[in-house]
């Protein structure tokens, strides 16, 4: 895909996240995009992301929902400010709270599709609702409260 | 420690979880123990478990809380039945829902300490409250609803 993902716009010092940092070589490196008013991401689980054989462990699902939601929060902040993600100042969000309902076992041999909607923007907080689907069945639903971090957070520590 | 962890009693076909399976060589292999009426586990994050440099990413915290809680649910079920974890039939729980409040950034260079309490046992469900601390400060609080899986769940698929 030639379109840049939200995470491709994170400044280097905010690009080390295990879930979504483009500079974390061991990480999941998820990539999130707009699709109309929703955001989407896709992920292929590795064979070792097991819960019980054949199914994905809940921590991976929580991680994907978390990072797709914080990426969505950042993208929504730029949109609300009417500017592109390659403009200054950068926006980056961390998680204040995460809730996941596991609706059915998530198959490990399927492409996992994440889809998110922004529920509210309240000052520095963005509330994001996420579904995680496999083979067109919703396997988990999540809600994340993301909080904007300050421009210099961790900027000097890497 | 010579005492067996809860996860050491899981049958082989339920021991592949990335978070807590003793047979998952790439996994986190967390180990949970009773300490009075609470349960405890400890985990050293790896350098790549980054959120922003210096701090642990939220997905790892969610994973640790999740697996420590399902282990606690299993141990509590044996206790409620008045029998040891090496007796039949085996008990194993998966996650119905997970909630995590991230209270402060979690340092990546500290030992993370998990502590859980069983809030309720209702039929096949166990509700578990978990704290995750570093350097004696609570960094995250979680609540997990765990559900007992049937004895043959995934037994034939590995």
3-state secondary structure B100-143: EEECCCCECCCCEEEEEEEEEEECCEEEEEEEEEECCEEEEEEE
Residue A95 per-residue DSSP state: E
Write out pLDDT tens, residues A29-85. Answer: 999 999 999 999 999 999 999 999 999 999 999 999 999 999 999 999 999 999 999
Residue A151 confidence (pLDDT): 66
Residue B57 per-residue DSSP state: -
A73/B contact by beta carbon, under 8 A: no
> Which chain B residues touch A90 with a CB distance below 8 Å?
none
Cα–Cα distances in Å, from A80 out to A44, A85, A118, B44?
A: 31, 11, 11, 39
Is the pLDDT assigned to residue A154 strictly greater than 60?
no
Of the pLDDT bands very low, low, confident and very high (cuts 50, 70, 90), residue A157 is very low
Beta bridge partners of B114: B41, B132
Nearest-CA neighbor of B94 among A114, A63, A59, A111?
A59
Residue B74 confidence (pLDDT): 97
Residue B4 confidence (pLDDT): 95
SS3 B58: helix
Tell me which residue has tokens 């999740």.
Answer: B66
Is the pLDDT assigned to residue A155 strictly greater than 70?
no
B74/A contact by beta carbon, under 8 A: no
Question: Which of A18, A29, A145 to mutate: most B Cβ within 10 Å?
Answer: A18
Whether B129 contacts B143, CB under 8 Å = yes
Mean pLDDT (chain A) is 94
Q: Residue B121: what are its φ and ψ, rounded to 5°? A: -120, 120
The tokens of B93 are what?
């729980």
ipTM for the assembly = 0.94
Whole-angstrom distance, CA of residue B62 vs CA of residue A13:
23
Distance from B97 to chain A by nearest Cα, in Å?
4
Residue B153 confidence (pLDDT): 63
Question: B118-139 burial, b for 16+ CB within 10 Å, e for fewer?
Answer: beebeeeebbbbbbbbbeeeeb
Of A58, A96, A158, the CB nearest to B102: A96
Residue A25 confidence (pLDDT): 96
Residue B150 confidence (pLDDT): 80
Residues 9-68 of B with CB under 8 A from A: 13-14, 16-19, 21, 24-27, 48-55, 57-60, 62-64, 66-67
> Which chain A residues touch B53 with a CB distance below 8 Å?
13, 16, 154, 157-158
Question: A4-37 burial, b for 16+ CB within 10 Å, e for fewer?
Answer: ebbbebbeebbbbbbbbbbebeebbbbbbbeeee
What are the mean pLDDT values of chain B's consecutive 10-residue runs (158 residues total)?
86 95 97 98 97 96 98 97 95 96 97 98 97 98 95 50
pTM: 0.95
Whole-angstrom distance, CA of residue A10 vs CA of residue B18:
28
Is the pLDDT assigned to residue A153 strictly greater than 70?
no
Residue A150 confidence (pLDDT): 80
For B78: left if phi > 0, alpha if psi spans -120 to 50, otherwise beta; the answer is alpha
Whether B72 contacts B37, CB under 8 Å = no
SS3 B66: helix
- Strands (E) across A30-155 are located at 32-35, 38-43, 93-102, 112-122, 125-134, 137-148
The tokens of A154 are what?
């961790």
Write out pLDDT tens, residues A77-105. Answer: 999 999 999 999 999 999 999 999 999 99
């Amino acid at each position: 895909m030639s379109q840049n993902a939200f995470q491709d716009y994170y400044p280097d010092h905010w690009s080390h996240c295990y879930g979504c940092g483009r500079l974390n070589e061991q990480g999941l490196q998820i990539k999130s995009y707009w699709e109309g008013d929703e955001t989407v991401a896709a992920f292929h689980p590795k064979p070792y992301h097991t819960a019980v054989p054949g199914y994905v462990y809940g921590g991976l699902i929580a991680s994907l929902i978390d990072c797709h939601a914080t990426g969505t929060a950042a993208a929504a902040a730029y949109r609300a400010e009417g500017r592109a993600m390659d403009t200054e100042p950068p926006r980056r969000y961390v998680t204040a709270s995460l809730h996941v309902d596991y609706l059915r076992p998530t198959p490990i041999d399927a492409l996992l599709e994440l889809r998110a909607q922004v529920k509210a923007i309240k000052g520095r907080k963005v509330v994001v609702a996420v579904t995680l689907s496999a083979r067109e069945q919703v396997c988990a639903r999540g809600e994340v409260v993301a909080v904007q971090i300050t421009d210099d957070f961790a900027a000097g520590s890497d």
